[in-house]
Structure 1
Amino acid sequence: MDKFTTITIEQRDAIEIISLNRPDARNAVNPTMADELIAYFSGLHDSPSTRIVILRGNGKEFCAGAELGSDAFIAPGAGRPQRQLFMQQRYSRIIRLMRSCPQPIVALVHGAACGAGFSLLLASDVRFATPAARMNAAYIRVGVGGCDMGSGYLLPRLIGLSVASELLLTGRFLGADRAKTVGLVSDVVDDDKLLETGLAFAAEMARASPMGLRMTKQTLNALIDAPGIDAALMIEDRQQVMLLETSDHHEAVAAFREKRDPTYKDQ
């Protein structure tokens, strides 16, 4: 997709800022936005020059959820379950691509992050919020299950089963301060510092070697479901052996000894 209409992309060296861009609709996800998010995150798998992604929303809200009035909800008629499943998988594919893309994703939350917007946060790797940010798994409030777009898998792993159950079974809102307390967001910062905070954190990650950063995200994804410590250690051992053979590892060691910043070539 050469031209996006519901998202904007800004390149800052190795960092890309993707902004949800339907401010008049509170950045609600409609099928067009879903397709554009799929296209964007699919492309990241073949874009090693982009090392880190910052995800944010234009306007007053991060994302109010799926647009209930859109054709995301299939009309009655023959074959509706099959057609609705296709649409459902279209939305859930965004989450799968966010988790599998090699770039860490930093989400910046302001205003509402509901339903699909909440799942976009959960699928990110690190989250920062403003004091007025409010988020919830809104699905159960519109007559469907509370587990949707990865929320039933990701949320318990991020904050534990008890608090995740509280949120998924009720759809109640989680404010920024409590989100920080339960570990869902890393910090709460003023509105005018949100992007600055995300960029500073991205710059800190960019000090790592490109392959080391990619493999750390990949390894974390694998270890969250590792059956035990032995399997986890085997995965980590293999990651380290691969990275020890890179030129960037030798450059990082040399830079450390010479008290200078490393110059990585992703080799």
Structure 2
Amino acid sequence: MTVEHLSSGVTVLTIDRPHRRNALDNQTVAELHTVLDEINGKPEIRAVVVTGAGAGFCAGADLKAEPQDFTATGATPAAALLDSVRSPVARIYAAQELMASAFEKIHRLRQPVIAAVNGAAVGGGFALALACDIRFAAPEATFGAVFIRHGISACDMGTSYHLPRLVGAARSAELLLTGRVFDAAEAERIGLILEVTDSGALLDRAVAKAEEIAAHSPLAVWMTKETMWQTVDAPSLRHALDIENRTQVMCSATGELGASFAAFRDGTATTWGPL
């Protein structure tokens, strides 16, 4: 995995296993955990873009991983467990939890995460794209929850949580129950991705959107992401309003609201404080 920190405050994460269509072995997932923890702890990083090297975004779990790939020690309890357990069931569960919890970290990350889907995003790669906040895709990108075609549930790695919230329950049911692979044009039509972008411009488009977000107050961005996803699960309008009201009061205490209004009146740019 390669990490590039841009001067704009955007960080680009590239899954760098093109020989495997960027399929995720346990070592790579452990590295992803480490990188996400580092990003979450760096207030100067304001937004994140995730993409894949070569012609693919992510083909999910690496089913052809060699023994030397299974060296993920210490990144998470699940990673450490992989080195110690002998039970096949326990080992599979630990590997499952290692990947699923990485995608959960993306969803819960303080910074917004944008996926630049440059090729196949299937299985766990589909779940990875869904865990991001915004998705752009190249024309050749494909998507699919394919595990049902291999005898197990298509509900995997957070897919059954994210997909219905993004495209609706009925569309989600059809995609999960058939396991069919669909293209970028359909993904755009059903609202799964923001737009289809020419391959050569895809990463730049995603970075530009990340920089547009990064121009705002870091606290406001964090609270907007967190409140937005929490209220998706709100049991009532009143619950959502209560969360929103408390967040607005908390954000207004920084003094940035008054500074922004003053800058607007003076026709000058607002300088945001640190997180």
TM-score (norm 1): 0.92
Say if 2:38 is the partner of 1:38. no
* 1:122-133 alignment runs, 5 A limit: 122-133=130-141
- Structure 1 residue aligned with 2:47, among 47, 52, 62? 52
Quote the RMSD (CA, aligned, Å). 1.7
Which of 4, 25, 28 is the equivalent residue of 1:10? 4
Aligned to 2:105: 97
| Pairing 1:259–2:264 present | no
Q: 1:209·1:249 contact (CA, 8 Å) conserved in 2? A: no
Aligned equivalent of 1:179 = 187
CA, structure 1 residues 79+246, in 2 after alignment: closer, same or farther (shift >3 Å)? same
Post-superposition offset of 1:38: 1.1
The 10-residue stretch of structure 1 (43-52 or 23-32) with the greater mean CA deviation from structure 2: 43-52
Matching residue within 157, 161, 172 for 1:149: 157
| Alignment partners' CA distance in 2, 1:259 and 1:117 | 45
CA contact (8 A) 1:248 1:266 kept: no
- Is the counterpart of residue 160 in structure 1 residue 154 in structure 2? no
1:3 equivalent in structure 2: none
Q: Which moved more, 1:11-20 or 1:83-92?
A: 83-92
Q: What SS does structure 2 have at the residue aligned with 1:32?
A: helix
Q: CA deviation at 1:81?
A: 1.8
Matches of 1:238 and 1:31, distance apart in 2: 40
Q: Residue deviations 1:2-21, cap 9 Å, x none? A: xxxxx100011210000010
Instruction: Report the Cα distance in structure 2 between the residues aligned to 1:86 and 1:61, rounded to whole angstroms.
Output: 26
Shift of 1:32: 0.8
CA distance in 2, matches of 1:174, 1:163: 12
Provide the rounded CA distance (Å) in 1 between the counterparts of 2:211 and 2:92: 41
Give, as a single letter, the amino acid of the residue that structure 1 aligns with 2:263: A
Q: Does 1:241 align with 2:236?
A: no
* Equivalent residue runs for 1:180-199 within 5 Å: 180-199=188-207
Is 1:20 matched with 2:15? yes
Q: Percent identity?
A: 38
- Give 3-state SS (helix, strand or coil) of 1:49's partner: coil
Structure 1 residue runs of 5 or longer lacking an equivalent are: 1-6
- Pairing of 1:76-95 with structure 2 (within 5 A): 79-95=87-103
Q: Which of 98, 107, 115 is the matching residue for 2:115?
A: 107
Q: Contact between 1:56 and 1:109, CA under 8 Å: does it hold in 2?
A: yes
Residue segments in structure 2 that go unaligned for 5+ positions in a row: 71-81
**Deviation, structure 1 residue 78:** 6.7
Instruction: State the Cα deviation string for residues 180-201 of structure 1 (Å, max 9, x = none).
Output: 1111000111111111211221
Provide the C-alpha distance between the structure 2 equivalents of 1:189 and 1:230, rounded to a whole number of angstroms: 39
The aligned length equals 259
State the SS of the aligned residue for 1:19.
strand
Higher-RCO chain (CA-CA 8 Å, sequence separation at least 6): 2
How far 1:255 sits from its partner (Å)?
2.1
In the alignment, residue 91 of structure 1 is paired with which amino acid?
Answer: M
